[in-house]
Structures are given as C-alpha cells and as structure tokens.
Amino acid sequence: MSDTAAPGSEATASAQGAAGTDFTHKQILTIISGLMLGMFLAALDQTIVSTSIRTIADDLQGFSIQAWVTTAYLITATISTPLYGKLSDLYGRKQFFLAAITIFVIGSALCGFATSMYQLAAFRAVQGLGAGGLFSLALTIVGDIVPPRERAKYQGYFLAVFGTSSVLGPVIGGVLSGADEILSVTGWRWVFFVNVPIGVVALFVVAKVLNLPPRRGNAVVDWGGAAALAVGLVPLLIIAEQGRVWGWGSGRAVICYVIGALGIAAFVAVEIRMKSNALIPMRFFRNSTFSIGLLLSVVTGAAMFGGITLLPQYLQVVKGSSPTLAGFQMLPLVLGIMIASVFSGQMISRTGHYRPYPIIGTTLMTVCMFAFSFIRYDTPLWAIMLAMFGFGLGNLMQPLTLAIQNSLPPQDMGVSTSSATFFRQIGGTIGVAAFLSLLFSRVTDTIRDALISAAATPEFRSAVGEAAQSSDPTVAGLAQGLASGDGSAAGGVLEDTSFIQKLPTALGDPFRIGFSDAMDQVFVAAGVLLAVGFVINLFHKEIPLRTQGGLAAQRSELAEP
C-alpha cells in the first residue's frame, strides 16, 4: 500500500505549507470546515432524536418499541466504524467520507417518510451505516494532514461541534417536534428532513475542498472479521438496550450473551488468521500505549455518555426543565469542553507533551461525579452547573485520541482512529445501559420511601386532597391511589415523568426527592469507574509526538533506504 500525490494536485502544490505537512494553515482550515459539517450532521441528529422520540413514538403508535429506534442506529453505527477505518486505509478517505454523508442523508430522508416505528427503526439503521464513518473519518483525515504536535489544536474544533450540537439539538428537537405542522408536514418529520440540506451542503464542500493523494490498496478486505464482529456485537448491543425490559437473567438475555461471546471469539480467531489484513490486527494490542488507550476509551466512554444521559434526566425530572431549557442549562458543560480542548491543544502544541491532560481530565471528572452524588432535589442550579464536568472531559477526549493515533504507524491511521471511536462507543453503550438500569432499579424504592416520609405531614395530606379534585385524570388518579394507600403510584414514574410537574409542590416533592436520591448511587458508580480510569492513566506511557502529518510521514518512511 502506498500514498502518492498526483502531479499537479493540491497536496503537491502546497508542499511549502507548515513544517511536517503538505498543507498550509488556510488549506487545513478549509478542509476542516467540510469535515465539521459532516460531523455536525451525526452529532446534531443524536441529540435532536433523543429529545423528540417520545413525540414520534406517540404519533406512530409505537411507544412500547421506541427503544428499537435507538438500538438499530447504534448497532449499524458501531459495527461500521472499524470497517470505514480499514477500507479508508486501503483505498482513500475522501470517497468513503462522501459515501458516509450520502448514506446518512438518504437514511434521514427515509426516516422522515416513515409510517410506523418498525419502518423508522429500519431507516435509522441506514442512518447508522453513514454515521459510523462521519466521526472516525473526520478525525482520521485530520491525522493525515496535520502533525500530531499541532493536531490537538485542530481537533478542538470538532469538540466545539460536539458541544454546539449538545445545546442546539434539544432546542431544535423541541421546536420541531412540538409543532403540529411545518410547511404542511408533521413537525417531528423535520427532525430528520433538516439533515438533508445540511448534508447536501456538506457533500458539496467536502467534494470541493478535500483533495488528498490517492491510495492504491493491495490488501484483502477482512469481510470475515466484519461478519464475525457483527455476530458478536449485535446481540450484546441489543441486550444492553433491552436488558431492563427483558430482565438481565432472562432466557432471551442468556441467548444474547452466548451468541455474543461466540461471535467475539470467532472475531478474534479470524483476526489472528488474517494478520496484517485484519480489521483490527491483533499485533496492535502488543503496543501498550494502544491497548491502554483503548481501555481508557471504554472507561471514559461509559462515564461520559452515562453522565451526559443522566444530567438532562435530573434537570427535566427534578428541576422541571423542558428539553429545550435543559439544553441551555447544559451550556456550562459545553463551554467547559470547548475551553479545555483549546487549552490542552495549545499546551500540547507548545510543549509536545500530552500525557498530563488525560490525568487532569480523569481527576476532574472523578471529583465532579462524586460531587453530583451530594446534589439534592433542592440544590441551587448554579451549584449543579459548577459541578458539570466539561473541563475534565475536554482535557481527556482529544489527547486520548491523539495518543492512540500516534502509537501506530502512519499507514494505520484509519484503523487507530476508528478503533478509538469504536471502543468509546462500546463503552458508552455499556455505561448508559448500566447506569440507567441502576437508576431504575432504585427509583421506585426511593420514591416510595419519600412518599412514606411525607405522608405524615399535613401539607402532603392537603396536597393529596387538592390533587384528587384535579381535572387532569392522571393527577386525580394518582392522588386517589395515594389516598387509598395504593403504593403502586411510585412505579408510574418509570413510564411517564411528565405528571410530576402537574402536582402540587407538597405532593410532587417526594417524587423529585426519590428520583434525586436514586441518582446518588449512580453518580458514585460513575466516580468509581473514573477513579479506575485515573489509575489506568498512570500506566499510560507517552510516546514522542511525530513531527509530520500522516501522509508526509508515510512518504518519508517509503523514501528511507
């Protein structure tokens, strides 16, 4: 395999660019603008859909199967990620990045026309096939054109995209799904249709500005490994999403565990047999920096996605914020990520050292998670914002990706970057499933305890009598159940939390107290997990950063006698 610049190409003409790269700063920024549009598509879609899914499920009469819409997307996005990395190493980045955008846009348009939840799940799977390449290939291309020592500065732009989408997603999702019709089309359908014009612009920009030397792959594509990986991951991802409903020890769960374990074992066997042609060559794991980096990706992915999932739950259920308002209240998290990513990027560029920043990141995130375990239902909002862990996360994400990219040869840039993304997604899936399961396993008991404690107060009894006369049947039914001593009311919060905000304060507070108390143990678990990550970081050796971008480094290696 080789990478050579075509005569007269922009790469050749730009050889006078910054040291160690074929591209000038202006050209790099132009390319990154196209990459950011592609990444913005996937990042925005995740937050918009999560805000709108309940409205969508109600309209398509499929509330009970809404989890499959997320599961289908997650499965295809996760499995396709390492495949994009390997194929792009062999045959080039541009065509696969354009293909990822195209598939994602097609999937988005199909989702907008869905007439049932089963159709929507299938079309979300198509979306996921495109999303699997958007994140990993964007970071891979940056690795191709920018030397590692300068790379952290540019990767900060992508974290800014991630942060911006975290705020805009709930706002846009709330506005679109809340509208009955927009241009004679049901409001929630625009949640998907909005991706189409953004995607078309991204396609145009990327096709025009992303000029990279061609690649001529001469290796065998590891389709057997990809198939074995699918067999291993699909049942495990399904049980991660459905375990709370099925039961973690149910017959269906056991079947998923067994098939998943057999698939993973088959994947490892195929990868050993395929050697350097493997989807993820096993020899990479002999590199301690790579192996520890992937382990950290799993740990931080679990804590990051778990924490980001729990915070909006707290803000909406306990503080009564709308999805739109909760998005704005998460702004300190986003600003922390952006500020820290700029800080760590600048410092890495100046000093050439990246090892301190993941240690700083895990330390700060561990402290913040434990701090959240002390937050109560009536904690002031400013204190909650102060404990948000964005600054820790910003010091952790990009240096970790940089370390993994820098640990392997330049010709494996796609595999190293997609592996980091892949394992982070796996960790995130495990983290969200585990933390939500822990939350929901406790919340019924904590709400019941809070109701029992409040029942002795005259304020509570008065509130029950007031709510029993409510014109809202849900509120009246709840109050009548409590008045008759029916304890099943505590379990209703697992199905629908919206009624809490309709209750009189004295009656609603026990539900808020119970939910907040249930989250304490979850944040302690996240803190312990991050403390483990801190210890792992201490064994993470620093490899001197290369002074050339991936493409330039490959040519230098080929030119050596």
Contacts of 162 (CB under 8 A, 6+ apart): 39, 43, 337
324-381 pLDDT, tens digit per residue, is 777 788 888 878 888 888 888 888 888 888 889 999 999 999 999 999 989 888 899 9
DSSP code for 410: G
Question: What count of Cα atoms within 13 Å lies in the side-chain half-sphere of residue 209?
Answer: 20
Question: What count of Cα atoms within 13 Å lies in the side-chain half-sphere of residue 559?
Answer: 8
pLDDT at 19: 44
72-86 pLDDT, tens digit per residue, is 888 888 889 999 998
Q: Tell me how crowded residue 471 is: count the other CB atoms within 10 A of its CB.
A: 6
Polymer length in residues for the chain? 561
- CATH 1.20.1250.20 maps onto the chain at 1-220
Please check the confidence at residue 439 and state whether its pLDDT lies above 70.
yes
Could you tell me which of 401, 393, 366, 368 has the C-alpha nearest to residue 383?
368
Tokens of 414: 């796609």
At 385 the three-state DSSP class reads helix
Task: Encode 486-510: b = buried (16+ Cβ within 10 Å), e = exposed.
Answer: eeebbebbeeebebbeebbebbbbb
Give CA–CA dist 126/106, Å, rounded.
8
For the domain covering 1-220, report its CATH number.
1.20.1250.20
Q: Give helix 458-468 / helix 413-455 axis angle, nearest 10°.
A: 100
282-326 pLDDT, tens digit per residue, is 988 988 889 998 999 898 888 877 777 788 778 888 888 877 777
Reported pTM: 0.80
Give CA–CA dist 498/47, Å, rounded.
20
Give CA–CA dist 19/394, Å, rounded.
27
Give CA–CA dist 23/403, Å, rounded.
22
Give CA–CA dist 355/362, Å, rounded.
12
